Amino acid sequence: MSDRSSDQPPGNPRRFVPAVNPLESRLLLSRQVFFPDGSVFVFPTFIHLPRTGGVALQSGTTLTVGVGQRNTNTVLATLDGVGDAQVEWNGRPVHSFTGIQATLVQIGGASRDEVVFHLTNPRTGGTAFATGQILATPALGAKTFAHPVHPFRRIARTSGTAVQSGSLLTISVTAPKINTVEISSLNFGHVVQAEWNGGAIHNFSGVSTIIVDIKNGTNDLVGLHVASD
């Protein structure tokens, strides 16, 4: 199974393309993901998601995190831009991975979930951040991060919106049953490209934290490709 294809097939829309492959003696789905920057990765995905906690699987340079709690799910991935990733989910211990270029979060079960990508490369120094406390929301406890206060930019679209405030980018998707979000971080946050639910690609700059807030969907996929220089 190839981890990455250098060229996007002509005429193919950007989407999650499923296939079935055996991996590590288990039958797993695999998904080919087309990111906004044109990169293509194949991720292993799970046929059955755990109903408590979560599970993670690295395949080459790709990492898949699967969560399937019935009420809410939270995933926090801290990435350093050179392949090291620290990932935690649903209050469980932090897990460390190396050699990661692209991360996919597979979510099932709940109708309210949150995924946070935290970019820690020093090159984002102009948009400093600090870890904050757990912030309660009506349906979810999510880790948030302090960020400079600047005029914000808002993009609205059917079944989703994106709002940038300083170095914080929040993408909210609300399609029933299924939501897909693909994000490319170019030059480690200097430019972020994002698309969701089959819509247009939107560009942002100076982003160090990306929050994806999901409502209504019960079978969702959130992918991030971190591309350095």
* Residue of 89, 49, 95, 56 lying closest to 73 (CA atoms): 89
Choose the weakest-confidence range: 52-56, 87-91, 225-229. 225-229
172 or 140: whose pLDDT is higher?
Answer: 172
Token couple for 125 = 């120094």
Can you tell me the distance from the alpha carbon of 197 to that of 213, in angstroms, rounded to the nearest whole number? 13
- Look at residue 189 in the predicted model and tell me its pLDDT: 76
How many other CB atoms sit within 10 Å of the CB of residue 68? 22
Can you tell me the distance from the alpha carbon of 156 to that of 163, in angstroms, rounded to the nearest whole number? 8
pTM listed for this prediction: 0.77
pLDDT in tens, 71-117: 999 999 999 988 999 999 999 999 999 999 999 999 998 989 999 99
Token couple for 144 = 């948030």
Can you tell me the distance from the alpha carbon of 127 to that of 122, in angstroms, rounded to the nearest whole number? 10
- Look at residue 15 in the predicted model and tell me its pLDDT: 53
Q: Tabulate helix, strand, coil % of the chain (nearest 5).
A: 5, 60, 40
* Residue of 128, 110, 108 lying closest to 119 (CA atoms): 128
Contact 42, 2 (CB under 8 A): yes
Specify the 3-state DSSP secondary structure of 173.
Answer: strand
Reply yes or no on whether the pLDDT at 18 is more than 90.
no
Can you tell me the distance from the alpha carbon of 107 to that of 179, in angstroms, rounded to the nearest whole number? 10
Average pLDDT value for residue range 115-133: 55
- Which CB contacts under 8 angstroms, 24+ apart, belong to 138-141? 139/72, 139/112, 140/72, 140/74, 140/112, 140/113, 140/114, 141/72, 141/74
Reply yes or no on whether the pLDDT at 156 is more than 50.
yes
32 or 134: whose pLDDT is higher?
Answer: 32
- Look at residue 121 in the predicted model and tell me its pLDDT: 65
In sequence order, what E strands does 98-152 have? 102-108, 112-119, 130-136, 141-146
pLDDT in tens, 173-211: 999 999 999 999 998 878 999 999 999 999 999 999 999
- Look at residue 27 in the predicted model and tell me its pLDDT: 56
